[in-house]
Amino acid sequence: MAGPPHKKQRREDYRASQREKGGAEMPQKKFYRQRAHANPFSDHSLAYPSTPDNMDWSGYYPEFVVRPQEEEDESQDEPENESVPLDKTAQQDTEDAEVITKNEIAVNPPRMRKQVEVADIGCGFGGLLVALAPVMPDKLLLGLEIRTQVTEYVQDRIRALRAKDPKGNTYQNISCLRANTMKFLPNFFRKWQLSKIFICFPDPHFKARKHKARIVSMTLNSEYAYVLRPGGVVYTITDVEALHEWIVGHFDAHPSFVRVTEEEQEADECVKVMRNETEEGKKVERHRGNKYVALFQRLKDPEW
């Protein structure tokens, strides 16, 4: 008598059944399990754009793609050969918005009506993304996760949530992709593109020789400062006090950031969501552990 099918085969069978159903059912986490740690220094054969201009976001946020009729309307309103912003909202938000000419649009990825503005680094199973979607309905949120199976779970979860809304209006503003942010963050985002970055319950890497793999460091903080616009905020939370002190120490030492006061922190609606809606946060709550929160605001660059 044949034994039970191999775990990998069960997972493949489950995924196939999900595809047959059109991805309308919420995925079961047990078919997407993967070890908690991934080596950020390994070659994971990741796909990433050479520059942010080469990134095609249309498959991640299909409802925000500029439609042909919108292109036609713009062509009638704008003088010929005049530069057209990639994202008019982003142009208003930052003086650093880049432009392309109309003649270049055809050879670039589909244009988007909005740019990604909020990044959840190491998004895990997507609890924060899903909870923040209705809180920031006018912003595009992106989860970045290095683990293959976990990324696929979040993508299937978002697909199922979208399918539950017959009008197709909810959860269109969130998505997830597989990425190693320690290596490729500037490949996805332009200078000053983001307004919020979330770093929730990152791997503590307790051993001293592993500290170089921590997601917060002076070098990485400079990359966060590059993609985060002045006035933007980095949100951090951990249940490891030593890691919290490490995070605070490295952001305090960086000239581009200042810590947000506790009063402002507690008044921020996103902090409440971050504390209570991530899978790790819920686990810490069940075990009655502590949660250490710290927010850091991006300062303006010196005029020189």
Give the pLDDT score at 97. 34
**What is the spatial distance between Cα 37 and Cα 23, in angstroms, rounded to a whole number?**
27
Query: Is pLDDT at 104 greater than 50 in this prediction?
Result: no
**Residue 42 CB-half CA count within 13 A:** 7
pLDDT over 90 percentage in the chain: 66
81 is in an annotated binding site: no
279 is in an annotated binding site: yes
280 is in an annotated binding site: yes
30-44, 121-135, 138-152, 212-226: segment of lowest average pLDDT: 30-44
Type of residue at 203: D
**What is the spatial distance between Cα 291 and Cα 236, in angstroms, rounded to a whole number?**
10
Query: Is pLDDT at 4 greater than 70 in this prediction?
Result: no
Task: Examine the residue annotation and report whether 203 is marked as an active-site residue of this protein.
Answer: yes
**What is the spatial distance between Cα 130 and Cα 143, in angstroms, rounded to a whole number?**
10
**What is the spatial distance between Cα 200 and Cα 191, in angstroms, rounded to a whole number?**
23
**What is the spatial distance between Cα 32 and Cα 40, in angstroms, rounded to a whole number?**
20
Query: Is pLDDT at 155 greater than 90 in this prediction?
Result: yes
Strand-strand pairing, 116-121 and 140-145: parallel
Give the pLDDT score at 132. 98
Q: Which entry of 43, 93, 203, 268 is annotated as an active-site residue?
A: 203
Tokens describing residue 185: 């963050």
Give the pLDDT score at 93. 41
148 is in an annotated binding site: no
Give the pLDDT score at 1. 46
Type of residue at 253: A
pLDDT over 70 percentage in the chain: 77
- pLDDT confidence band for 35 (50 / 70 / 90): low
Kindly report the length of the chain.
304
**What is the spatial distance between Cα 32 and Cα 154, in angstroms, rounded to a whole number?**
10
- Does this model's pTM top 0.85? no
281 is in an annotated binding site: no
Helices marked H in the chain: 7-20, 68-77, 88-93, 102-105, 127-132, 148-164, 181-188, 218-227, 241-252, 262-267, 269-277, 279-286
What is residue 52's DSSP assignment?
A: G
